[in-house]
Structure 1
Amino acid sequence: MNLTVFALTGAALVGLGVYGLIARVHMLRRIMAFNLIGSGLFLFFGAAGARGVGLDPIPQALIITGIVVALSASALAVGLVVALARSSGTACLPDEAGDT
């Protein structure tokens, strides 16, 4: 039962992240929503890898690798948003600047 709760929580995090990615205009909020999607997927994969008699090390290795890649991709994305904000004066894309 615990693994089902973890898998459903991961699915809920992915859903919230997709909503935030679609509904938000500010680029930093979109980066946070994308990270929320990744965290939900990591939780779901961890719950899926724990099913059965023993623990499977492959999903655990994929989760650890994914965390490292997500951290570096987030740092790159935040750097690009900072460069966009310095050049244009706003952290929103030009065609979406009027929306909230």
Structure 2
Amino acid sequence: MSPDLAPNALLYALLGAVLVGLGLYGTIARRHLMRRLIGFNVVGSGLFLVFGATGYRPDLGLDPVPQALIITGIVVALSATALVAALIARFAALTGGAGLPEEMPTTTREASRREPS
């Protein structure tokens, strides 16, 4: 095994952590459901990178078990993404949009409860 692989494993782990952070931001900050799905997939990709980086051991080399789990996770993530994308498309067809409804402010709710004079 190459001794240069250890610094790359750290780089992959850090890049994975950055992807997890960006994906969490995209999942939480966006109201459009497809953008939330993309953010969730970015989180998954970051976790795959982190998990793959932890599969390297300097004394033993690469461990094949995390690699097999990552490949299985990619297949499961792909099928789950296809299912959720189909559900979002159906939701958009029924409601006319793929975004979540905005919450009304408290003052607007109170104003809508009053009867017009």
TM-score (norm: length of structure 2)? 0.79
Give 4+ residue runs of structure 1 displaced > 6 Å after superposition.
none
Q: Partners in 2 of 1:4 and 1:71 — Cα distance?
A: 26
Find the aligned partners of 1:41 and 1:70 in 2 and give their Cα distance: 12
Q: Could you report, residue by residue, the CA deviation over 1:4-27 in whole angstroms, capped at 9, with x for unpaired residues?
A: 111000000000000000000100
Q: 1:70 aligns with which of 74, 77, 93?
A: 77
Which residue in 2 is equivalent to 1:33? 39
Identity across the alignment (%): 61
Counterpart-to-counterpart distance in 2, 1:72 and 1:2? 30
Q: Which runs of 5+ in 1 are unaligned?
A: none
- Output aligned runs, 1:1-100, within 5 Å: 1-52=7-58, 53-94=60-101, 96=102
Distance 1:79 1:73 in 2: 10
Taking a change above 3 Å as real, the CA distance of residues 27 and 97 of structure 1, as seen in their structure-2 partners, is: farther
Q: Which has the higher contact order (CA 8 A, sep 6+)?
A: 1
CA distance in 1, matches of 2:91, 2:76: 22
**Distance in structure 1 (CA, Å) of the matches to 2:57 and 2:16:** 15
What is the aligned residue count?
Answer: 97
C-alpha RMSD of matched pairs (Å): 1.4
Q: Displacement of 1:33 after TM fit?
A: 0.3
Higher helix share: 1
Give the C-alpha shift of residue 51 in structure 1: 2.6
Q: Kindly state the Cα deviation for residue 97 of structure 1 after the two structures are TM-superposed.
A: 7.7
